[in-house]
Amino acid sequence: MGQPDRPTPDPPRRPARGPTRQAARPPAPHQGQRHHRPRPMLTLADRLLATLLHHRLGLPQVAIARLFSVTPFTINRRIRDIRQLLDAAGRTIQPADQHLATLDDLHHLASTAGATIPAEIKTAS
């Protein structure tokens, strides 16, 4: 009466490895190029200064991040790194009597201490 049940054939499989259509295309002209500004890099001196500003003067990490044009997360990691190095070397940072809350406080402290403050900050670029 009817035909015997036959299993349906499996669909053809693509090879697991080997070139694909996408890999065969030449790369788009924009691939591999950055579309944003390169991340600023903190030098060792920058990291030490950030650590001193935070631990000695109590300047908040958010303010320090603005000073160095990086994210607070970056400042937090770099301060932690320097703090671990100082601890391993047996060095401590003594807190100052005066704590700073803002960059304006830092500017005021620097100007009253006799530091030369430029009217305009020149960037490296």
Measure the CA–CA gap between 80 and 101, rounded to whole angstroms: 20
Measure the CA–CA gap between 99 and 95, rounded to whole angstroms: 8
Per-residue pLDDT of the chain (125 residues), as tens digits, is 556 666 666 666 665 565 555 556 666 666 666 566 666 689 999 999 999 999 999 999 999 999 999 999 999 999 999 999 999 999 999 999 989 999 999 989 999 999 888 777 666 55
**How many CA atoms within 13 Å lie on the side-chain side of 4?**
1
Domain spans, the chain? 39-107
pTM: 0.64
In one-letter notation, the amino acid at residue 7 is P
Measure the CA–CA gap between 92 and 52, rounded to whole angstroms: 10
Measure the CA–CA gap between 11 and 96, rounded to whole angstroms: 74
